[in-house]
Chains A and B, each alone.
Chain A
Amino acid sequence: KAGVTQTPRYLIKTRGQQVTLSCSPISGHRSVSWYQQTPGQGLQFLFEYFSETQRNKGNFPGRFSGRQFSNSRSEMNVSTLELGDSALYLCASSWGPNNEQFFGPGTRLTVL
């Protein structure tokens, strides 16, 4: 099976712009979660989608949003970018009773 894929791998934006990141989960996985990873805060949970519905949401402002399509692919959007949004954004698909997660390589977002 192919692993989790994320596009693009690298992105440079300026403050005030918006960005959309894409994630394709492992075939058969219906749950997709998004995380933000920074050196200072570590890995922080953004949100989880299951069967096109947001099932869980972390403590991030409304500028961060996401959605999931019928084929389980997911996108996350960040509007009105701030310098502090610079981070590695990771997507994970999961399955099973223990929700074992499989991560993609991430999208490195730099906000200038």
Chain B
Amino acid sequence: AQSVSQHNHHVILSEAASLELGCNYSYGGTVNLFWYVQYPGQHLQLLLKYFSGDPLVKGIKGFEAEFIKSKFSFNLRKPSVQWSDTAEYFCAVTARAAGNKLTFGGGTRVLVKP
């Protein structure tokens, strides 16, 4: 079945460490790609999105993601994390092949130790 996969379920790292969260999808054709973040006790917020153009997308709070079409990937990165980045991160995809329904990966819980 077509899907969105996030390889890491839990990530623990120290402040100032670099973060990279993997996301792969299996849809062909035109896709839109998103990363959402959910801070503890809060609702989903959009971090960044890719529709077209430059495959390196910059979002809020120093996050960026790179769309690699040949690898069906949209990995999220941040060079130096802060304690306040502790949250759950969700990759999501809309694909014309799937009727433009927004499909989420399983999420990655990130804990940044001070």
Chains A and B are bound partners: no
Residues of A whose CB lies within 8 Å of any CB of B are none
